[in-house]
Amino acid sequence: MEKKGFFSRLKEGLAKTRQNITEKMDLLFKYHNEVNDELFDELEEVLILADVGVNTTTRLIEKVRERVREERIREAQRVRAVLKEEILALLSQPQELNLRFPAVFLVVGVNGVGKTTTIGKLAHMFQSQGRKVLMAAGDTFRAAAIEQLEVWANRVGCQIVRHTEGADAAAVVFDAIQAAKSRGIDLLICDTAGRLHTKKNLMNELEKINRIIEREYPEAHKEVFLVLDATTGQNAVSQAKMFKEKVNVTGIILTKLDGTAKGGIIIAVKSELGIPIRYIGVGEGMDDLQPFDAEAFVEALFEEA
């Protein structure tokens, strides 16, 4: 029953994208009986308009064309299955997220991507699994960021370490690590400032926080999660490239997939960055942040009406 609920939420969250990509593709396959250049050109256009990105779309179409030649496919409808398989192959993770505890999640990303909400939902997810979670209010720069995180901590019944606005973010993380050790915490989730990613001082701050975690909590399993907003399209890819250059991002959390018809961005992000997608947000509910499952995602995207 739980799995059905998970898939239903995923399918519902991808409704706009499915309408934009899959339904348009199905019309193409009904219109074209045979495989020809015109079919591939129109398929390419559908993918680009869904924010799959020019580079990724070109690579996908080339792979599909190659397989169509090798397998001597003549019917247009068979191309749909080949494309589905190629998208799944592209989205499949290079490695699983093998968490061990204690663990630290450093959550980074620009303002407005849904970082605070994501931290709240992550805390809820792990507490539901019986883990003791502690939040560190490391975004001391943005007005009300600490209060917003505190609201989430209260909502999910989670502990929080905070200082005042304008305090040194690294000092907050230092105190949170000491608290995590003394209280037997399983998972420490650290918020960070989301000032424009091009600002050097933000990257310096992140590097400082990183050093403190390495020095003070070497025994903890560490992940650096970059939160991206799916509704920003190709801008999300640009942000990710900036952060990847400065911080060792180990995973992507893609939020607001339910709010866009251009969910193809998930394919572009995975293809262009090579960073595993760990969680996706497909709704506003507490349980609508889900571990990313490439197979379930592709099934939900391609499911026929």
pLDDT tens digits, 210-247: 999 999 999 999 999 999 998 888 888 888 888 888 78
Six token digits for residue 45: 């256009």
Report yes or no: 223 and 168 within 8 Å, Cβ to Cβ: no
Write down how long the chain is.
Answer: 305
Q: What is the mean pLDDT of the chain?
A: 89
The per-residue pLDDT for range 145-161, each reduced to its tens digit, is: 999 999 999 999 999 99
pLDDT tens digits for range 170-192: 999 999 999 999 999 999 999 99
What angle in degrees, to the nearest 10, is found between the helix axes of 294-302 and 76-91?
Answer: 150
In the chain, what's the furthest Cα-to-Cα distance? 67
Give this prediction's pTM: 0.90
pLDDT digits (tens, 9 = 90+) for 122-152: 999 999 999 999 999 999 988 789 999 999 9
Check pLDDT > 60 for residue 256.
yes
Residue 273 host element (H or E): helix 265-273
Q: Which residue has the higher pLDDT, 6 or 172?
A: 172
pLDDT of residue 199: 59
Task: Return d(Cα 85, Cα 295) in angstroms, integer.
Answer: 10
| Model confidence at 18: pLDDT above 90 | no
Between 29 and 155, name the one with better pLDDT.
155
The Cα 37–Cα 65 span in angstroms is 10
Comma-separated ranges of CATH 1.20.120.140 domains in the chain: 2-91
- Topology classification of domain 103-296: Rossmann fold (3.40.50)
Greater model confidence, 215 or 3: 215
Pairing relationship of beta strands 289-291 and 133-136 according to DSSP bridges? unpaired
Nearest to 160 by CA among 181, 182, 131, 180: 180
**CATH class of the region 2-91:** mainly alpha
Neighbours of 250 (CB within 10 A): 16
> Contact, 169 vs 108, CB < 8 A?
no
Closest by Cα among 141, 252, 144 to 201: 141
Evaluate if residue 1 carries a pLDDT over 70. Answer: no
Confidence of residue 2 (pLDDT cuts 50, 70, 90): very low
* Cβ atoms within 10 Å, residue 195: 16
**CATH 3.40.50.300 residue window(s) in the chain:** 103-296
Name every residue whose Cβ is closer than 8 Å to that of residue 265 and which is 6 or more positions away in sequence. Answer: 51, 52, 53, 230, 233, 234, 236, 237, 254
Q: Where are the beta strands (DSSP E) in the chain?
A: 103-108, 133-136, 159-161, 187-191, 221-229, 251-255, 277-281, 289-291
Closest CA to 17 of 260, 199, 269, 303: 260
